[in-house]
Structure 1
Amino acid sequence: MSDKPIILVTNDDGLNAKGIKALVAMVKGFGDIYVVAPNRSNSGKSNSITVEVPIRIKKVRDEENLHIYSCKGTPVDCVKLALNKILPRTPDFLVSGINHGANTSVSVLYSGTMGATIEGCLNGIPSIGYSLNDFSADADFSQSIKYGRKIFANLLEKGLERSVCLNVNFPKGDINGIRVCRQADGRWKEEFDHRQDPFGGDYYWLTGYFKNAEPNAEETDEWAINNGYASVVPTKIDMTAHQLVEDLKTWDYEVED
């Protein structure tokens, strides 16, 4: 077995997306790379897993320091299968992306890119999710590779606290630098485009837009990517509102017979 670090690479846009090819180029040379990615787009799948049907996986390519597998499952399925059935041992690092489209603010909750990243974190693996604020299938990832590689090199040197992963977002175009940020306060305002099929049946396409509640807050990830900076947000698994624990203990929980 090689003594090189093992790097697990995955995404939610699918194995043929340009972004995952850029991610492989980003981490190339740092270790033995295993790519386990969905065979098609799984955007918006968050932490979902497949439980009702079998999951199929096949080896696409196997060469020195690069092993590629295609999975008919979600991003989290890919990570689980990689850890349990494919990799020779637990990987030293996990990277997910580079997503076509930003995953700032509340999008972290919906993102398949970050779902895979969080799954790595749950298993004690230092993990980073990368996204680019450009939905184009032919997006230019050259700047993302350059700055993402620097962030990954820091991870190798410094490590990460257990139960914390990184959510990294790049702006479209030139990058002015890297900013460590917090998640912006905002939400998606859903709208549905109502249509009818040829048989008169109703169906809907999800549309909508993102509403930033604090567009001028310079410490947030949304401000960073909208002003030409790459944002790095340390993201925790623990969703407990710790500041409310003591207050909630004062509530009356007595139930009358």
Structure 2
Amino acid sequence: MEKRPLILVTNDDGINAPGIRTLIEVMNEIGEVYVVAPDSPQSGMGHAITINDAVYCNHIKTGSDKPQMEYSCSGTPVDCVKLAVNEVLKRKPDLCVSGINHGSNSSINVIYSGTMSAAVEAGTMGIPAIGFSLLDFSHEADFNPSRKIVKEIALQTLKNGLPEGVVLNVNIPKLNSSGIRGIKVCRQAKAYWQEKFDKRTNPLGRDYYWLTGEFVNEDKGTDTDEWALEQGYVSVVPVQFDLTAHHAINELNGWDL
């Protein structure tokens, strides 16, 4: 019998989030599943790691009807991947999937995302990795319609592999009556957050701040993730973790350094 692929599942919304429960169920249809995910929400943690505190990892008994092995971790999403690969899993996984995130990780959001940072960390270890996100911030968001898309992209990744140094950032639009129009491979839109801080004062007279902001998309291209999502397509952006700006090397070599 052909050996089933070993799949690591993680996220940044926490091990009990509805998105990861859906992702686990889909991955159980494909392979042998191990789950190592934060024990509490870790959204917006980016690629943070824990270095000034202990990291705890607890095995969770899921019952005989659930074939996956699950572990909750006190650390960040990146901690979860590091711990999974180095301590928990019996061998290097064939695939790492992160999510399904509750909300968008398109465009500039990718650099803040704990969901995507977990996938990127797996990618740095040579593991094919995908971050999945659903553009629905509602507390009652329905992740079930994403199942077919998640499974299709995961199976294609296992079949074809990914280019060296690349992971996938997959964003799924909120489904409406007309459904998904298809899947588009895109580039990351040039966009940013116009940030503001809501300044308040606590009862002791100390000032504090809440971060707010407005998302600004400057990119009018029809080949971007933001365009695809607005048009009802799933966006798939290949993300690289080599941050070298290769196009700037020649210019900098012209400096008097």
Q: Unmatched 5+ residue regions in structure 2?
A: none
Q: Unmatched 5+ residue regions in structure 1?
A: none
Q: Tell me, in whole angstroms, the C-alpha distance in 2 between the residues paired with 1:145 and 1:61.
A: 25
1:217 and 2:218 are equivalent in the alignment: no
Q: Tell me, in whole angstroms, the C-alpha distance in 1 between the residues paired with 2:92 and 2:67.
A: 16
Aligned to 1:196, which of 190, 197, 201?
A: 201
Q: Tell me, in whole angstroms, the C-alpha distance in 1 between the residues paired with 2:180 and 2:192.
A: 25
Partner of 1:44: 44
Partner of 2:61: 61
Q: Tell me, in whole angstroms, the C-alpha distance in 2 between the residues paired with 1:92 and 1:9.
A: 11
SS in 1 for 2:116: helix
Q: Tell me, in whole angstroms, the C-alpha distance in 2 between the residues paired with 1:72 and 1:137.
A: 24
Q: Tell me, in whole angstroms, the C-alpha distance in 2 between the residues paired with 1:213 and 1:24.
A: 36
**Cα drift, residue 138 of structure 1:** 2.1
Partner of 1:177: 182
Aligned to 2:254, which of 236, 239, 250?
A: 250
Q: How many residues align?
A: 251
Give the aligned residue type for 1:58.
Answer: N
Partner of 2:165: 163
Q: Tell me, in whole angstroms, the C-alpha distance in 1 between the residues paired with 2:148 and 2:56.
A: 34
SS in 2 for 1:116: helix
Q: TM-score normalised to the size of structure 1?
A: 0.94
Once the two structures are superposed, what CA deviation does each residue of 1:184-210 show, in whole Å capped at 9, x if it has no partner? 001111111111211111111111121
Give the aligned residue type for 1:53.
Answer: D
SS in 2 for 1:208: strand
For 1:1-257, list aligned pairs within 5 A. 3-61=3-61, 63=64, 65-173=67-175, 174-214=179-219, 216-253=220-257
Between the aligned residues of both structures, percent identity stands at 51
Give the aligned residue type for 2:191.
Answer: G
Q: TM-score normalised to the size of structure 2?
A: 0.94
**Cα drift, residue 35 of structure 1:** 0.6
